[in-house]
Structure 1
Amino acid sequence: MKIFGKLILFVFLVMAVSPLYAQVGDLKSKVELKKLNDHLYQITTHGFFDVELIASVGPDGILLVDTGLEQTAKQLKKTLKDLNQGKLKYIINTHEHNDHTGGNKVLGREVDIIAHEKVKHELKVGYNILRELPDFALPNKTITAPMSLQFNGEEIKIIPVPGSHSDTDTIVYFTKSKIVYMGGVGHAKNFPFPDTTKGGDVKNYPDVIQKIIDAVPDDVTFIPGHGESYTKADLKEFHEMLIKTIKLVKQELKAGKKPKELQQAKILKKWDSYGQGFVKTDAWIKVITDRFTGKTKTPKKFLIEPLYHALKKNNIKGVLTEYKQLKEKHKAEYDFSENVLNLLGYHLLGQKKIDQAIEIFKFNIEEYPESYNVYDSLGEAYMIKGEKKLAIEYYQKALQINPEFENSKKMLKKLEKK
Structure 2
Amino acid sequence: MLQVLALILIMSIVAPLSATADSLFKVTKLTDNLHMLSTDQGEYTTNTLVFFGDDGLLLVDTQTEAEAEELKKLVDSYGKGTPKYIINTHRHVEHIGGNAIFGVEPIVIAHELFPSKLKSGSYIFNEYPPATYPDITVSDKYTLEFNGESIEIIPMGGGHDDNEIIVHFTKSKVVHISSLVNGFNFPSVDSDGDVLMLAPLVAKAIEMLPKDVVIVSGHNDTGTWDDLRAYHDMLVQTIEVVRKGLAEGKDLATLQEEKILAEWESYAGSYVSADEWMEYLVEGMRDGKDDRPTPHVPIYHEWKKRGAAAAVALFRELKRDHADEYSFREFILLGIGDKLYKKNYLKDAILFLEASLEEYPEGKYNYYIHYELADANKQLGDKKLAMQHCEKSLELNPDFDAAKVLLEELKKN
Same fold (TM over 0.5): yes
- Structure 1 letter corresponding to 2:341: L
Residue 340 of structure 1 is matched in structure 2 by 332
Distance 2:197 2:328 in 1: 29
Higher mean C-alpha deviation, range 102-111 or range 174-183: 102-111
- Distance in 1 (CA, whole Å) between partners of 2:13 and 2:240 is 42
Percent sequence identity is 36
Q: CA deviation at 1:19?
A: 9.9
Q: Deviations over 1:355-405 (max 9, x none)?
A: 333333344444344554344332221112122112112223444555555
Partner of 1:181: 176
Q: Tell me, yes or no, if structure 1 residue 288 matches structure 2 residue 281.
A: yes
The verdict on how the C-alpha distance between 1:162 and 1:336 changes in structure 2, with shifts beyond 3 A counting, is closer
Contact 2:341 2:372 in 1 (8 A): no
Pick from 305, 309, 315: which aligns with 1:313? 305
Report the counterpart of residue 8 of structure 1 in structure 2: 4
Residue in 2 aligned with 1:207?
200
Equivalent residues in 2 for 1:68-107, closer than 5 Å:
68-107=63-102
1:163 equivalent to 2:155? Answer no
What is the rounded CA distance, in whole Å, between the counterparts of 2:39 and 2:300 in structure 1? 30
| Structure-2 separation of matches of 1:249 and 1:292 | 9
* Correspondence for 2:219: 226
Aligned to 1:324: 316
Q: Are 2:19 and 1:31 aligned?
A: no
Please list, as runs of the form range in 1=range in 2, the aligned pairs for 1:115-264 lying within 5 A after superposition.
115-187=110-182, 189-195=184-190, 197-198=191-192, 200-264=193-257
TM-score, normalised with respect to structure 2: 0.90
Query: In structure 2, which of residues 261, 267, 270 is the aligned counterpart of residue 274 of structure 1?
Result: 267
Report if aligned partners of 1:39, 1:152 keep a CA contact under 8 Å in 2.
no
By how many angstroms is 1:210 displaced? 1.2
Give 1:218 deviation, angstroms: 0.9
- Identify the range of structure 1 (226-235 vs 399-408) with the bigger mean alpha-carbon deviation: 399-408
Q: After TM superposition, give the deviation of residue 142 of structure 1 in Å.
A: 0.8
Tell me: CA distance 1:332–1:218, structure 2 relative to 1, closer, same or farther (3 Å).
Answer: same
Deviations 1:217-263 (A, max 9, x none): 11111111111211111111111111122112212221222222222
Maintained 8 Å contact 2:182/2:188 = no
Change (3 A) 1:409 1:332: farther
Q: 1-side partners of 2:150 and 2:332: how far apart? A: 43
Q: Using the TM superposition, give the Cα deviation of residue 188 of structure 1 relative to its aligned residue in structure 2, in angstroms.
A: 5.8
User: Matched residues in 1 for 2:19 and 2:407: separation?
Assistant: 14
Residue 114 of structure 1: which of 88, 109, 122 is its match? 109
3-state SS of the aligned residue for 2:184? coil
- The match for 2:359 is 367
Shift of 1:267: 1.9
Structure 2: 5+ residue stretches without partners: none
1:410 counterpart (386, 405, 409): 405
**Residue 66 of structure 1 contacts residue 100 of structure 1 at CA under 8 Å; is this kept in 2?**
yes
User: For structure 1, which segment, 251-260 or 363-372, has the greater mean C-alpha deviation from structure 2 after superposition?
Assistant: 363-372
One-letter amino acid of the structure 1 residue matched with residue 350 of structure 2: I
* 181-190 or 110-119: bigger deviation: 181-190
Query: Which whole-Å CA distance do the structure 2 matches of 1:289 and 1:363 have between them?
Result: 30
Indicate the SS of the match to 1:88: coil
What is the Cα deviation at residue 163 of structure 1? 1.6
Give the TM-score taking structure 1 as reference length: 0.89
Counterpart CA distance in 1 for 2:34 and 2:129 is: 29
Per-residue CA deviations over 1:252-310 (Å, capped at 9, x if unaligned) read: 2212222222222222222111122222111222222222233x722542223222111
Q: How many angstroms apart in 1 are the aligned matches of 2:20 and 2:379?
A: 15
Matched, 1:385 2:377: no
Cα distance in 2 for partners of 1:257, 1:318 equals 44
Partners of 2:32 and 2:396 lie apart in 1 by 56
CA distance in 1: counterparts of 2:362 and 2:237, whole angstroms: 41
Matched residues in 2 for 1:41 and 1:299: separation?
39
AA paired with 1:261?
Answer: T
Whether the 8 Å contact between 2:337 and 2:352 is mirrored in structure 1 is: yes
SS of the residue 2:140 aligns to: coil
Q: Is the 8 A contact 1:35 1:41 kept in 2?
A: yes
Matched residue type, 1:241? M
Structure 2 residue 349 is matched with structure 1 residue 357: yes
Q: 1:194·1:201 contact (CA, 8 Å) conserved in 2?
A: yes
Aligned with 1:349: secondary structure? helix
Structure 1 Cα separation of the partners of residues 278 and 353 of structure 2: 35
Q: CA deviation at 1:98?
A: 1.1
Structure 1 CA distance for aligned equivalents of residues 202 and 86 of structure 2: 24
Distance 1:347 1:283 in 2: 25
Contact 1:47 1:71 in 2 (8 A): no
Which secondary structure state, in structure 1, belongs to the residue aligned with residue 331 of structure 2? helix
Return the alpha-carbon distance in structure 2 between the equivalents of residues 206 and 89 of structure 1.
34
- The letter for the 2-side match of 1:35 is K
Larger deviation, residues 47-56 vs 368-377: 368-377
CA 1:332–1:297 in structure 2 vs 1: closer, same or farther (change >3 Å)? same
Change (3 A) 1:107 1:19: farther
Q: Distance in 1 between matches of 2:330 and 2:240?
A: 35
3-state SS, counterpart of residue 113 of structure 2: helix
Task: Specify every segment of 5 or more residues in structure 1 that has no aligned partner in the other structure, as ranges.
Answer: none
* 1:102-122 Cα shifts (integer Å, max 9, x gaps): 111212521111111011111
Q: 1:96 to 1:279 in 2, by over 3 A?
A: same
Assess if the C-alpha contact under 8 Å between 1:45 and 1:76 holds in 2.
Answer: no
- For residues 271 and 367 of structure 1, the distance between their equivalents in structure 2, rounded to whole angstroms, comes to 37
- TM-fit CA distance, 1:162: 1.6
- What residue in structure 2 maps to residue 63 of structure 1? 58
